[in-house]
Amino acid sequence: MTPHQTMPTRNQIKLVKSLTRKKERFANRLFIAEGRKVVAEALEAGLHAEMLFCDKDLSDNSLFKSAETISPGEMERLSALSSPSEALAVLRMPEDIKLKPESPNWIVLDGIRDPGNLGTIIRIADWFSWGGVLCSEDCVDRFNPKCVQASMGSVFRVPVEYCDLAVKINSSADREFLATDMNGLSIWDVKVEGQPKRGLVIGSESHGISELVSSACSSTITIPGERAESLNAAVACGILVAALSR
């Protein structure tokens, strides 16, 4: 250990490890971000870091001026990744938010449990400048470490709201909600120009969209295909959002 490096305390290590569990994240209102880019995005977005660690190569970076510099071995003790990253932050959760009714198109997720899928979908919303992501209450939480990692920082920019989807859809009369299903209108036949604000509804790969949510939607669309049984939820989302954004 160099003279400028420190060692995380036992309590710090214990807290970081506990934040891989949803119950502990929400009890403490804290979550983890890892990696130079992801941590930098969080700090630039104004999130408060309760703890901030980096390796010596980042110690001169202005964003990391308040960080504790630790060795790769100590970073590995903290990290939830297979390889230790250059930076790790324990961040204070922002307040819960609501999507703005006047915001542009939304991605609507019903029962998405895979954190990698959610993180990728949030990144898709960011890339195409959609208005936000609306999640059913049983979706994986956006502060899951794998979700934060997969979003590559987009989770700090894209509004994500959790709610009763059927109630939200039924109360959003000025927005057209499109349910995705194997049987529906081809996405290539959906009119794009001059249409109202939309909500693209995507369900889990195993169960699809719930009947209650599906019945609240305006229409059903699909991605035509011939061979594979189905598409990964995030892959399907990327295709559909790109088609609706053209």
Residue spans per domain, the chain: 10-92, 106-244
Q: Which residues contact 166 (CB under 8 A, 6 or more apart)?
A: 212, 213, 216
Instruction: Provide mean pLDDT across the span 122-131.
Output: 97
Mean pLDDT of the chain: 91
Residue by residue, DSSP assigns 80-126 as -SSS--SEEEEEEPPPP----TTSS-EEEEES---HHHHHHHHHHHH
> What pLDDT, on a 0 to 100 scale, did the predictor assign at position 228?
67
> What pLDDT, on a 0 to 100 scale, did the predictor assign at position 3?
39
The fourth-level CATH superfamily of domain 10-92 is Ribosomal protein L30/S12 (3.30.1330.30)
- Check pLDDT > 90 for residue 51: yes
pTM, full prediction = 0.92
Instruction: Provide mean pLDDT across the span 84-89.
Output: 90
- What band does 2 get if pLDDT is binned at 50, 70 and 90? very low
> What pLDDT, on a 0 to 100 scale, did the predictor assign at position 246?
83
Q: Which residues contact 61 (CB under 8 A, 6 or more apart)?
A: 54
Evaluate the CA torsion angle 125, 126, 132, 135 in order and state its sign: positive
> What pLDDT, on a 0 to 100 scale, did the predictor assign at position 37?
93
Report d(CA 193, CA 77) in Å as an integer.
52
Statement: 106-244 belongs to CATH 3.40.50.2300: no
Question: Are residues 56 and 73 in contact, defined by beta-carbon separation less than 8 angstroms?
Answer: no
Instruction: Provide mean pLDDT across the span 11-31.
Output: 96
